[in-house]
Structure 1
Amino acid sequence: MSDTDSFIDEVTEEVRRDRIYLLLRRWGWVGVVAVVLIVGGAAFNEYRKARATAQAQQLGDTILAALSENDPAARAAGLAQAEAMSPGGKAVLDMLLSASQVESGSREDAVNSLNAVAVQGDLPEIYRAIASFKSLLLQGDTLPAADRRQQFEALAAPGAPLRLLAEEQLALIDVADGNVDAALDRLQALRQDAEVGIDLQQRAAQMIIALGGEPEPLVAQQG
Structure 2
Amino acid sequence: MRRYGWIAVLAVLLLVGGAAYNEWRKANERAAAEALGDGILAALEQDEAEARVTALQAIDAPDPSADAVVTLLAAGESLGSDPKATAEALVALAERGDVPMVYRQIATLKAAAIGAEGLAAETRRELLDGLALGTGTIRVLAEEQLAYLDIETGNQEAALTRLEALYVDAEASEGLRQRVGQIVLALGGELSGEAASDVARQADGG
State the TM-score, normalized to the length of structure 2. Answer: 0.80
User: What's the offset of the Cα at 1:69?
Assistant: 0.6
The Cα offsets for residues 101-127 of structure 1, whole Å up to 9 and x where unpaired, read as: 224x13344334433542355655443
> Would the aligned equivalents of 2:137 and 2:171 in 1 still touch at CA under 8 Å?
no
State whether structure 2 residue 19 is matched by structure 1 residue 42: yes
How many residue pairs match? The answer is: 195
| 1:60 matched residue in structure 2 | 37
Which structure would you say has the larger Rg? 1
**Counterpart code for 2:22:** N
State whether structure 2 residue 150 is matched by structure 1 residue 179: no
User: What's the offset of the Cα at 1:51?
Assistant: 1.3
State whether structure 2 residue 96 is matched by structure 1 residue 149: no
Distance 1:159 1:109 in 2: 29
**Counterpart code for 1:176:** E
| 2:176 matched residue in structure 1 | 200
Distance 1:29 1:80 in 2: 53
Question: In structure 2, which of residues 144, 148, 168 is the aligned counterpart of residue 168 of structure 1?
Answer: 144
| 2:191 matched residue in structure 1 | 216
**Counterpart code for 1:86:** D
State whether structure 2 residue 114 is matched by structure 1 residue 138: yes
- Identity rate, percent: 42
| 1:4 matched residue in structure 2 | none
| 2:202 matched residue in structure 1 | none
State the TM-score, normalized to the length of structure 1. Answer: 0.74
**Counterpart code for 2:120:** P
State whether structure 2 residue 81 is matched by structure 1 residue 95: no
Distance 1:140 1:202 in 2: 25
User: What's the offset of the Cα at 1:170?
Assistant: 1.6
Alignment gaps of 5+ in structure 1: 1-19
> Would the aligned equivalents of 2:75 and 2:86 in 1 still touch at CA under 8 Å?
yes
> Would the aligned equivalents of 2:50 and 2:78 in 1 still touch at CA under 8 Å?
yes
User: What's the offset of the Cα at 1:160?
Assistant: 4.2
> Would the aligned equivalents of 1:68 and 1:75 in 2 still touch at CA under 8 Å?
yes
Alignment gaps of 5+ in structure 2: 196-206
Q: Please provide the CA RMSD for this pair.
A: 2.6
SS at match of 1:161: helix
> Would the aligned equivalents of 1:118 and 1:127 in 2 still touch at CA under 8 Å?
yes
Distance 2:174 2:110 in 1: 21
**Counterpart code for 1:89:** A
